[in-house]
Amino acid sequence: MEAERQFEIIKTNTVEIISEEELLKKLKRQRPLRVKLGIDPSAPEIHLGISVQLRKLRQFQELGHIAVLVVGDFTGMIGDPSGQSKTRPKLTREQIKKNMAKYKEQIFKILDPKRTEFSYNSKWLGALTIYDFIDIASKHTVARILERDDFSIRLKEGIPVYMHEIMYPLFQAYDSVAIKADIELGGTDQKFNLLVGREMMRELQMEPQVIMTLPILEGTDGVRKMSKSFGNYIGITESPKEMFGKIMSIPDELIIKYFELTTDIFPHKIEEFRSGLQEGILNPRDVKFELAKTLVRMYHSAQVAEESAREFEKIYSKKELPTDLKEFKIGLEEINIVDLLMKTGLMPSRAEAKRKIKEGAIDIDGNPVKDINYVVKLNKPVVLRAGKHKFLKIIS
RNA sequence: GGGCAGGUACCCAAGUGGACAACGGGGGCAGACUGUAAAUCUGCUGGCGCAAGCCUUCGGAGGUUCGAAUCCUUCCCUGCCCA
């Protein structure tokens, strides 16, 4: 495909490309470009936030380019200073191997394995001598590194910044040198690191990588970046039910952003949703419903997506019971409600169970239980509900 | 090495001898409402107990006191200034 056309495709949904001219120049050579993305081996679960970047990679692959995934098994020991990540626990070789096996299983739901390369940065970073290290460090100033947003913020607020952390951008940059990256992708929060890669390559007389930043996807709380450590993520291998529900819980304002960044829906269709929502013609609930169906279809199947949708309506709109009601055998003829909640594990403590009973969150066969001394008779199976999402069929 | 300021629950943060299981915010959970597990409003958010109350918790360890998150000693950790 001609370079200009490729460029247009690649540019969609990006925040910034530095520089566009250089990218076009690279594309015009009509040879496969090496597109780098760093991945963190300590978080083997791929979620929609990461999928934004992986999907962009996929796009490159479809245009004939190569995805080069740099597994940060070395830099993982440091932990990217962005976010308030504490010093990460050192991973053993086995853990990394295990995590990566899990990672690969998921990643090829998005990427094309034939055009994907994996390399572990311990291979070259671990081989650096202290002399090499000093040589690299001597080309970068503290002031320049401290310009980085999160460093300067931490410094200003008196939050510690450790020496190994300020080395992080240099190591990541060196990865680009080692794999001879043409382009590096990252979230907008990665801009600084990506730029350091460019500089380092130039220092070493290499053609600098082009950097491309992509939007950060907010998690289910609608505020913070989707991340495993915030617990606001939607994993691409989650069960259809879970996935559907989590998507329905994102704030309405994020619906369009999710469509754009995480789905394969055509732009004109998304435009339709956008204007429909703006003008109040479409109910946000219905559009979000479409979003949930789309994502479940992408990561499971069309059929499962339909089923999840029906199930969701059944439980939350019609307030009926789920189809796959789990059973719990208690081995007793009757039991106090609090004990029951504890035995089934639906409540973490007796105090919590009592609280929830008083709040009216517990019901048996559709009848709210408000008395903490209520005794449940089990001469026939009953359905215990705790809150909106927890159901169990109790049998004696 | 010296001086100063700090370390509080999942996170941020108030509290500086009793009224503190500890203000407030975030997050979480629940209820109401809603064609949404959205938004909004309300409640709850250490454990055991029907309750009175008891137990555990304020960086660690000791101590003073009838009584400590709050005072003292010591240790560990962080920031700032000086060297």
User: Could you tell me the CATH number of the domain that includes residue A333?
Assistant: 3.10.290.10
Cis peptide, bond prior to residue A152, ω within 30 of zero: no
**pLDDT confidence of residue A83:** 47
Give the pLDDT means over successive 10-residue stretches in chain A (396 positions). Answer: 91 92 93 94 87 95 96 76 53 81 91 94 92 90 84 84 87 94 94 93 94 94 85 91 93 94 93 91 92 95 94 88 88 92 93 92 91 91 91 91
**Could you tell me the distance in Å between the CA of residue A161 and the C1' of nucleotide B62?**
33
**Could you tell me the distance in Å between the CA of residue A383 and the C1' of nucleotide B52?**
36
What's the pTM? 0.88
> From residues 273-312 of A, which are strand B contacts by CB within 7 A?
283-286, 288, 312
**pLDDT confidence of residue A84:** 46
**pLDDT confidence of residue A24:** 94
Q: Are residues A166 and A265 in the same domain?
A: no
**pLDDT confidence of residue A327:** 92
**pLDDT confidence of residue A324:** 82
Q: Are residues A55 and A152 in the same domain?
A: yes
Tally of domains in chain A: 3
- Measured to protein CB atoms, the chain B nucleotides within 7 Å are 26-32, 35-39, 43-51, 78-80
Domain that holds residue A195: 3-214
Q: Are residues A268 and A386 in the same domain?
A: no
Q: Are residues A360 and A295 in the same domain?
A: no
**Could you tell me the distance in Å between the CA of residue A159 and the C1' of nucleotide B65?**
37
Structure-block tokens of residue A122:
């311990």
**Could you tell me the distance in Å between the CA of residue A76 and the C1' of nucleotide B76?**
27
**pLDDT confidence of residue A80:** 62
**pLDDT confidence of residue A85:** 45
Classify residue A227: in a domain, yes or no: no
**pLDDT confidence of residue A92:** 74
